Amino acid sequence: MEQTTITALRQKPRAVDSMRFITDTIHGYVTMGPHVWSVVDTRHFQRLRHIKQLGVSYYVWPGASHNRFEHSLGVAYLARQMAMHLKNAQPELGLTDRDVRCVELAGLCHDLGHGPWSHVWDGSYIPSALKAGFLPKDREWKHEHASEMMFDDMIKQYDLDIPPTDAVFIKALIAGDWNRCSYEKPFLFEIVSNPRNGIDVDKFDYIARDTRAIGDNQNLSLTRLINSARVVENQICYSVKDANQIYELCYTRFSLHKRIYNHKTAKSIECMFIDAMLAAEPYLKIAEQIDDPKKFLGLTDDIRTEIQRSQAPELLEAQRILERIQNRDLYRCVDYKVFDWEHREFLGENITAAGIVAEAKRECSARIGQSASQLDPEIDNEDDVITLEDIEDLTPDKVIVALSTMHYGMKDKNPLDFVKFYPKNRPNECFHARRGDLSLLMPAHFAEILLRVYTKDVRFFGIVQAGYRSLLARIAKESEPTSIDVQGSESDGIPERPRTPKTFSRVSSFNKSFSVGAGESGENTSPFLNQFTTVSKGYGKSLSPARIFAPQPVSAPAGNLGLGKEQTDEHAIERALAESDGDNNTPQDTSKASPSRNLRSSKRPRNERREEGTPGKRKKV
């Protein structure tokens, strides 16, 4: 990717000597000083206009079009509000205008290092590029590192009026690392990036902004939380009256990750963007640009447009993947399961694309060429017969295993255990809130792992699901400690069921994740069964894009009912309509019926379709 050299870049920008006002969708009418606008009026900061805050989630939620630019302005505003509140409410802290200014600039510049599609870049693409060998194996990179790199380059290129000591302080505030500036006030490092409990103004802004963008109405009062903040014992504490607000903040974070950031379709599109960039990497050298601030200026979401409009033959594969996104021919999620946090490493090591494919080939080889009489009538279809070609075509590169971590902000810990609160009558004393001080309905777990398996080719939908479930079943079976000798007496000649010793390996606890807890219904679940996603092993062959978009002779009923093949005879349509109605025999108002209903109304009533010679029994359709 060529970068345009601008000779005027080293010139000092136009002097900013007055306050400016903006209207923010979250914070309303906002006033900011000249030290803020001298940073905003640079290429380094303006670049954030072209990076979506929620990355590829914009392809699922059209309203999520906000960028890192407005988020950074919002964090700067809240950082100043918090610092000014502490300065005015507690003069004994000795906060200076310089402290407030540095905290504000840290909030403004904390996301300068984000790459294309925000966390898709640092959370997924860079690790994938490392794994693929495009970067040195021992390379470690986070967007916070790039933020400091871009901050230093911005000061140098524009000759900004930021003293070196202030620059060091600001970068330490961005990292939330007090050890880098131990001579500064420690509580200031909990405003922008709080390493103690994750409660900071960055979280305040993105939760408020993201929920607004997707149409949620959250009830958090950011002004109340800021005015509740107080420094006690050199850390930021909150009034115990706002403990529930803090909990709501943490829960909302988890909810956003669960519903929005890790949405099934958004994750599929994320995987496709990663594949497209990996395909373009040998030609564009995208990952190699992370260490050069001048090249990093060009790393924005616009890289998609650059790839698509290129005439280079080296980018044909990347263009093909991006075109699939535009045509909504996405990778398909074949199965999913939620696991305990403690199994995250075990899952990453054992549930792999190669393992799933190996199990799929073993599991499905026995079903090649099965006749219709051998199929499972509950889930199989006569069109779902597996062929040898299907098995041979399936390779690990057509399968993706996506592990998503979701928690309340402190991994598997309760974030409120790391927050201190002060009582109204003793504002200079702080305590941890105990369970009875807040609620007796706190969750038993504060983190979980969501495992999803995707296929890049819908033809392999059922085969990949069978392989994934077979792999999980084998792992679960191997983890059962049936061979362990258990000491104990027998009662009435019935041997005691073997029990797993506490010292058994972590594999033995794998099945424990699926036991039913208090209040849950049904029997114990299985690690290889998800009743909501079960399909036949040949499922997907009739869902290929060519069949999805092919014209149907009877478009209304066939398209709406999802018929597996072009069934145009009246009996096929009648059977499909009967299946769509299930067993509900409630009389319908035919005057308001859909076209598919009118088709059915010309046939015999369903209750008259009896199997010949078997009164009262409906014919199976």
Dump the DSSP string for 116-173: TTBHHIIIIIHHHHHHTTSS-TT----HHHHHHHHHHHHHHHHT-S--HHHHHHHHHH
Phi, psi of 23 (to 5 degrees): -110, 115
Is residue 151 in some structural domain? yes
What share of the chain in percent tops pLDDT 90?
63
**Average confidence score pLDDT of the chain:** 81
Given this model, what pLDDT does residue 389 score?
Answer: 80
Q: Would the pLDDT of 558 be above 60?
A: no
> Which two three-digit tokens encode residue 175?
């990292």
Q: Would the pLDDT of 535 be above 50?
A: yes
Q: Would the pLDDT of 84 be above 90?
A: yes
In this structure, the answer to whether residues 528 and 569 fall within a common structural domain is no
Q: Which residues contact 231 (CB under 8 A, 6 or more apart)?
A: 86, 90, 93, 187, 237
How many domains are there within the chain? Answer: 3
Q: Which of 231, 266, 301 lies at the terminal end of a domain, its last residue?
A: 266
Given this model, what pLDDT does residue 526 score?
Answer: 56
Given this model, what pLDDT does residue 144 score?
Answer: 85
In this structure, the answer to whether residues 183 and 235 fall within a common structural domain is yes
Q: How confident is the model at residue 52 (pLDDT cuts 50, 70, 90)?
A: very high
Q: Which of 266, 292, 310 lies at the terminal end of a domain, its last residue?
A: 266
In this structure, the answer to whether residues 94 and 185 fall within a common structural domain is yes
Of the candidates 104, 87, 201, 111, the residue with the CA atom closest to the CA atom of residue 162: 104
**Strands 420-422, 235-239: parallel, antiparallel or unpaired by DSSP?**
parallel
Q: What's the rounded Cα separation, in Å, for the pair 572 and 336?
A: 33
Is residue 597 in some structural domain? yes
Is residue 291 in some structural domain? no
Instruction: Output the CA torsion sign for 153, 157, 163, 164.
Output: positive
Query: What's the average model confidence in pLDDT over 449-456?
Result: 97
- Find the angle CA(140)-CA(146)-CA(149) to the nearest 5 degrees: 120
Q: Check: CB of residue 340 under 8 Å from CB of residue 511.
A: no
Is residue 342 in some structural domain? yes
Q: How confident is the model at residue 599 (pLDDT cuts 50, 70, 90)?
A: very low
pLDDT tens digits, one per residue of 214-246: 998 777 899 999 999 999 999 999 999 999 999
Is residue 300 in some structural domain? no
For this structure, is 143 an active site residue? yes
Phi, psi of 440 (to 5 degrees): -95, 5
In this structure, the answer to whether residues 338 and 228 fall within a common structural domain is no
pLDDT tens digits, one per residue of 384-432: 567 788 788 999 999 999 999 999 999 999 999 999 999 999 999 999 9
Q: Which of 234, 266, 298 lies at the terminal end of a domain, its last residue?
A: 266
Q: How far is C-alpha 328 from the geometric centre of its chain's CA atoms? A: 19
pLDDT tens digits, one per residue of 112-168: 999 999 999 999 999 999 999 998 877 778 888 899 999 999 999 999 999 999 999
> Is residue 341 exposed (0-12), middle (13-18) or buried (19+ Cβ within 10 Å)?
middle
In this structure, the answer to whether residues 373 and 241 fall within a common structural domain is no
Q: Would the pLDDT of 506 be above 70?
A: no
In this structure, the answer to whether residues 571 and 532 fall within a common structural domain is no
In this structure, the answer to whether residues 532 and 601 fall within a common structural domain is no
In this structure, the answer to whether residues 202 and 75 fall within a common structural domain is yes
Is residue 488 in some structural domain? no
Query: What's the average model confidence in pLDDT over 373-385?
Result: 52
Phi, psi of 323 (to 5 degrees): -70, -35
Give the domain CATH number at 161.
Answer: 1.10.3210.10
In this structure, the answer to whether residues 473 and 561 fall within a common structural domain is no
In this structure, the answer to whether residues 532 and 573 fall within a common structural domain is no
Structure letter (DSSP) for residue 260: I
- Residue recorded with tokens 């490392």: 130
pLDDT tens digits, one per residue of 269-312: 999 999 999 999 999 999 999 999 999 999 999 999 999 999 99
Q: Check: CB of residue 238 under 8 Å from CB of residue 421.
A: yes
The one-letter amino acid at 199: I
In this structure, the answer to whether residues 385 and 260 fall within a common structural domain is no
* Low-confidence winner among 66-80, 90-104, 549-563 (lowest mean pLDDT): 549-563
Query: What's the average model confidence in pLDDT over 75-102?
Result: 98
Which of 27, 44, 71, 143 is catalytic? The answer is 143
Q: Which residue has the higher pLDDT, 361 or 373?
A: 361
- Find the angle CA(136)-CA(140)-CA(146) to the nearest 5 degrees: 115
Is residue 303 in some structural domain? no
Is residue 48 in some structural domain? yes
Q: Would the pLDDT of 516 be above 60?
A: no
Q: Check: CB of residue 218 under 8 Å from CB of residue 208.
A: yes
Q: Give the residue numbers spanning the domain of 180.
A: 21-266
In this structure, the answer to whether residues 455 and 595 fall within a common structural domain is no
Query: What's the average model confidence in pLDDT over 342-348?
Result: 94
Given this model, what pLDDT does residue 441 score?
Answer: 87
